[in-house]
Homo-oligomer: A and B are copies of this chain.
C-alpha cells in the first residue's frame, strides 16, 4: 500500500484552495459527493445529461446549481467526473472543451488502468480516483450524506500526475471522511478483480447453476429450503447487471486472471471430494476459515 505517495510525512497541511466544485453526474456517487460538499459550504455545480435529472437533483438539493450545459463548469477549481464507466471512457467533446485547464479533475471509476489510458492525455491535472463506497441504490434519488465516511478512497497516481492536483484530491477525500490510499493502477485493478468483480461472477454462476436444475421437484424443494447461506452467497450475483458487465468489460485481463485462479481453487476442492480425501478437504476449509478475517478489517 502507499507504494507511490508523494505526500511527505510531516509536511504542513496545505490550505484548501477549492471554492467551486463541479460534479458531472448526479447518481449515487456524484450526488453523495455533491451533498457532503454543499453542506460544507462549498459552491457545488452539478452537470447532468438530461433536464429531468437536473430538475430532480435541484429538488433534492444535491447542489446549489444543476445544469445540462457543460459550460457551467467554467469557473470550477475541481471537477469530479461521476459518470458511468462507459461515458467516462468515451468523454464527449463538449465536456472536454468545458473543463477548465487549471482545474483539478478526478473520476470515481471502479477500474483505473483504462481510465488512466484515456484521461492521462486529456487533461494535465487529472488524478485517477476510486472511492469505495456504495449502497443498493442508483440514480439521482440514491445520493446520501456521509457515504464515504470511513471508506477507502484509492488514487492511482503515475509519474505524470501533478503532485499539487493529487494533494487537492487527498484533501477532498479527507473532507469526505475517507481513508486515503494510493496504489499502482494495475495492482488496484487486480485487487478489485479479486475482491469485487470475481465475487460477482462466482455468485452469478451459483444462481445460474441452481436455475439450470431440470427436476421441478428438486427446484421447488431448493426454493423452499434456501436460507441465509444461499442468500448471502448469491447476493452480489443478482446485483446491477449493467454494472457487472461493465466491470468485466473494462477490467477484462484482471478478471480473467482472477477467474483462472478461482477455477484452479475450485478444481482442487472438487478433486478432494471426487477422491474422497476428506481430511484434505477439511484442511482446505480450515485454511479458508483462517483467510477470511484478514479481509474483514474494514
Residues of A bordering B, CB below 8 Å: 1, 3, 132, 151-152, 154, 181, 183-184, 187-188, 190-192, 194-196, 198-213, 215, 217-227, 229-239, 241-242, 244-246, 248-249, 252, 255-256, 258-259, 261-266, 268-270, 273-274, 276, 278-279, 281-289, 291-298
Q: Are the C-beta atoms of A245 and B1 separated by less than 8 Å?
A: no
Contacts of A246 in B (CB 8 A): 278
User: Are the C-beta atoms of A221 and B187 separated by less than 8 Å?
Assistant: yes
Contact between chains at A297 and B223 (CB < 8 Å): yes
Complex alpha-carbon distance, A255 and B219, angstroms: 15
Copies of this subunit:
2
- Bound together, the chains give a CA A231 to CA B292 distance in angstroms of 8
- The A interface, classified by DSSP as helix, strand, loop or mixed, is helix
Closest to A233 in B: B199
Determine if A225 and B191 form an interchain contact, defined as CB atoms under 8 angstroms apart: yes
Cross-interface CB contact of A244 among B1, B234, B285, B297, cutoff 8 Å: B285
With known contacts A209-B198, A209-B261, A211-B287, A252–B227 Cβ distance under 8 A? no
